[in-house]
Amino acid sequence: MKFHYYPETDSLYIDLSEKPSVDSTEVAPGVVLDFDAEGRLVGIDVDRASQIVDLSRIEASELPVTSFSLRKVDHR
Amino acid sequence: MKITRYFEEQVLRKRLSIRREWCQRAVRHPEHRETQADGRVRYWIFVTELQKYLRVVTLEDGETVHNAFPDRGFRGGKP
């Protein structure tokens, strides 16, 4: 699972799978779900993310995680 | 066509079926247009190749393409 956040537009994309999306639906204002060709959820697109999600913390419990990375990009 | 980094790096990466020229056409010749409460602008066109409506969202300037997806919930502007 990957989180991609863009502060300049306050946009968050959560990749649940590497598979591409072929269909999408908006389930709440600014929240769009992406589905693959088999109808499986592959990503979540969140607009104005800071108004919907607490971006300041990530918590996980009992996930079988083998790697974790945080990357800060300097756009200056 | 002006685009955001999010559109370039996430939208085009994840939604491989979307073509830039459709987004440009949606902004220039929309079938339906709405301004969101936050000032960003939504445009819809029907894309024959997809057999679906495409929603394109621009920033507040009405021209910088920020998001696009085949909108299965759109009913031609009718509720």
The span from the CA of A45 to the CA of A24, in Å, is: 10
Q: Is the dihedral of CA A5, B17, A44, A52 positive or negative?
A: positive
For tokens 């009718």, name the residue: B78
Tell me the residues of chain B between 35 and 74 that have a Cβ less than 8 Å away from chain A: 38, 52, 57, 59, 66-67, 69-73
Q: Nearest Cβ partner of A9 from B66, B70, B71?
A: B66
Q: Which token pair is B8? A: 């370039």
Predicted confidence (pLDDT) per residue in B1-36, tens digit? 999 999 999 999 999 999 999 999 999 999 999 999
Determine contact: B30 vs chain A, CB below 8 A: no
DSSP letter (8 states) at residue B3: B
CA–CA separation, B71 vs B23, rounded Å?
A: 13
pTM, 2 dp: 0.90
Which among B33, B60, B35, B74 has a CA at the least distance from the CA of A24? B74
Instruction: Categorize the per-residue pLDDT at A67 as very low, low, confident or very high, splitting at 50, 70 and 90.
Output: confident
**What ipTM is given for this predicted complex?**
0.89
